[in-house]
Structure 1
Amino acid sequence: MTRRIGILQQKGGVGKTTNTINVAGALAARGLDVLAVDMDPQGYLTHRLGFEDAYLSEPPSLYDALNAPTEHAVGDLVVEHAEFDLLPANVDMFALEQDLIASGMRPRLRLDRILDGATAWDVILVDAPPSLGPLNDNVALATGSLLVPVEADESSRLALNHLLRQLDTLEANYDVHVDIIGVIVSNVSYPLDNEQKDNIEWFSERFEDHVPVWIVRSRAAIKRAVKDGSSVFGDTDEESDMSDVYAEIAEEIDNG
């Protein structure tokens, strides 16, 4: 059975795309077939993985599938990356958010309908856009399980509280349950200053009794791998001590 997981946080700059690439790479390194889905109209995941042409391509694209979920098969829209597959974003998706808002509540289930036919993969990871709105709602409702990237700062704590309230609203309106299966504190620089210490403690106290809280340190090797269009598990001569953290996340997903 295909496992679906959203990597979701409405605050920008918290490492959603970097974490998506490296969690996907870690899962692939375990021998799993992985599909990464880029739901961000800005297409950062698509660009980072080297598929600029797909982002600018003519229809059909993910935009068309989200407008007419029953008319497009996921397999026809997927491109192959060296480590995993990608359902790329498309520039036309900038018009999608307003279209979905104007259409009411049911369009928030369109991604779910698209992924119902995506059974060829063991795990589907969905990289969500940095905003609270119908695209993020689609990700939460289609996956039901979320990894939440944050940074060790006050603004991430505030954004996380907003996200929790949004999930409460979705659960009430759609009679579903959306699980947070882990929190990834990204871009942590050592030695820790007082702000980072306080915020890491807050995330740990808030979540650690319920779900794992992983710490991903800021590493040049991660940045270089992503710049080269791969995870730290890809074809690279450079190792990172953060590979173990991403391997732990992949193990948690695989065994979940």
Structure 2
Amino acid sequence: MNVAGALADRDLDVLAVDMDPQGYLTHRLGFEDAYAADSPSLFDAIDSPTDHSVDDLVVAHEEFDLLPANIDMFRLEQDLIASGMRPRLRLKALLENVDGYDVILVDSPPSLGPLNDNVVLATEHLLVPVEADDSSKLALNHLLRQLDTLEENYDTKIEIEGVLVSNVEYPLDNEQKQAIEWFEGRFEDYVPVWIIRNRAAIKRAVKGGGSVFADSAESTDMGDVYMQVAEEVAE
């Protein structure tokens, strides 16, 4: 939400796509009705990409457009697993003919699987959100192995454009300190590692249904960090 808001604040036309069946982004932006809506929805578009137009499914937020998740997407995971490898290209097929946006930013499910694979193969450029703990280090190692598998199976190149370490609390405890050092040691020679400190202003902006760049949001020093992310994406 905040990366999309930062990009929109740079006067870029942004489409955010919520590929998480839980619909966190959709709910936080205030589109609960779209999440529970009957067909057609993003579920139908992923199920049959050539039969649906993204333009018919997009909703307008005050900062950027959204292709909302739908509750029926919980069914997609098992359907895609049963269908083999080719359906992991359905999101790519759906988005490749979308016009009118400078940036399409896709929110991925928080776990590996065919929906996540669809996001990776459609975008081929990743911003990786983590937290400063041991579980995120383990999850990131799993992701890197999966990226290797996708590159080999689909003859493609997938780029990590940066790592966002979120909800960091200062002073750092030992686990946070060690995790940040690990992320920086693993990635800093190749891509930016951004530290997002825990700020009440971020939580209030999200609760208010927008990013920290919304007109109603209060100022926060983390806005500068999100703008750095936006600059990297724009380049």
Q: Is TM more than 0.5 here? A: yes
Q: For residues 58-116 of structure 1, what are the alpha-carbon distances to aligned partners after superposition, in whole Å with 9 as ceiling and x for unaligned?
A: 11000000011001110110000000000000011110100001111000000000001
Q: Extract structure 1 runs of 4+ deviating beyond 2 A.
A: none
One-letter identity of the residue aligned with 1:75: D
Shift of residue 119 of structure 1?
1.7
Matched with 1:224 is: 204
Matched with 1:183 is: 163
Aligned match for 1:162, one of 142, 166, 180 = 142
User: Is the contact between residue 91 and residue 119 of structure 2 (CA under 8 Å) also seen in structure 1?
Assistant: yes
Number of equivalenced pairs: 235
Shift of residue 130 of structure 1?
1.4
Matched with 1:113 is: 93
User: What aligned pairs does 1:26-105 form with structure 2 within 5 A after superposition?
Assistant: 26-105=6-85
The separation in 1 between residues aligned to 2:99 and 2:10, in whole angstroms, is 19
Shift of residue 153 of structure 1?
0.6
Aligned match for 1:207, one of 163, 187, 190 = 187
The separation in 2 between residues aligned to 1:98 and 1:134, in whole angstroms, is 9
Percent identity, please.
74
User: Is the contact between residue 211 and residue 217 of structure 2 (CA under 8 Å) also seen in structure 1?
Assistant: no
Which SS does the other structure have where 1:215 is aligned? strand
Which SS does the other structure have where 2:163 is aligned? strand
Aligned match for 2:224, one of 244, 248, 256 = 244
The separation in 2 between residues aligned to 1:197 and 1:102, in whole angstroms, is 42
The separation in 2 between residues aligned to 1:56 and 1:144, in whole angstroms, is 29
Shift of residue 237 of structure 1?
4.8
Shift of residue 118 of structure 1?
1.1
One-letter identity of the residue aligned with 1:102: A
Is 1:149 matched up with 2:140? no
User: Is the contact between residue 26 and residue 35 of structure 2 (CA under 8 Å) also seen in structure 1?
Assistant: yes
The separation in 1 between residues aligned to 2:98 and 2:197, in whole angstroms, is 33
One-letter identity of the residue aligned with 2:151: E
User: Is the contact between residue 39 and residue 127 of structure 1 (CA under 8 Å) also seen in structure 2?
Assistant: yes
User: Is the contact between residue 149 and residue 186 of structure 1 (CA under 8 Å) also seen in structure 2?
Assistant: yes
Is 1:133 matched up with 2:103? no
Which SS does the other structure have where 2:145 is aligned? helix
One-letter identity of the residue aligned with 1:108: R
TM-score, normalization: structure 1? 0.91
User: Is the contact between residue 73 and residue 117 of structure 1 (CA under 8 Å) also seen in structure 2?
Assistant: no
User: Is the contact between residue 58 and residue 67 of structure 2 (CA under 8 Å) also seen in structure 1?
Assistant: yes
TM-score, normalization: structure 2? 0.99
The separation in 2 between residues aligned to 1:196 and 1:99, in whole angstroms, is 38
Structure with higher RCO (Cα < 8 A, 6+ apart): 1
The separation in 2 between residues aligned to 1:159 and 1:60, in whole angstroms, is 34
User: Is the contact between residue 164 and residue 196 of structure 2 (CA under 8 Å) also seen in structure 1?
Assistant: yes
Q: Give RMSD over aligned pairs.
A: 0.6
User: Is the contact between residue 32 and residue 122 of structure 1 (CA under 8 Å) also seen in structure 2?
Assistant: yes
Shift of residue 235 of structure 1?
1.6
Matched with 1:17 is: none
